[in-house]
Amino acid sequence: QQQVKQSPQSLIVQKGGISIINCAYENTAFDYFPWYQQFPGKGPALLIAIRPDVSEKKEGRFTISFNKSAKQFSLHIMDSQPGDSATYFCAASISGNQFYFGTGTSLTVIP
């Protein structure tokens, strides 16, 4: 059973546009929600993370929106750039003991 559901599977955005990736979870015990960026042939790198006591976190062009009641969280990439083209994974964890990953979203930003 997929603990974290991620959509869309792939996304194409024009340069300068907003990329939005969504994730949903069921286990209310999750208390940490990170997003990772992965380039081909490389390991995932932490992009931004949020805890359920806040509804939004922004770091530069990247924003996480968190809806605790709906058990959903999303990643927004503002002013998307070709260099943002990568695969993005959401994840959920209980105090960092085990991380459950979404299925990934392949983002392509076209110039």
The binding site for another protein (CB under 8 A) comprises 32, 34, 36, 41-46, 49, 89, 93, 95-96, 98-99, 101-104, 106
Tell me the C-alpha distance between 89 and 45, whole Å: 10
Nearer to another protein, 27 or 103 (CB): 103
38 token code pair: 């992965």
**Residue 8, phi then psi, degrees to nearest 5:** -80, 175
Nearer to another protein, 74 or 102 (CB): 102
Nearer to another protein, 11 or 34 (CB): 34
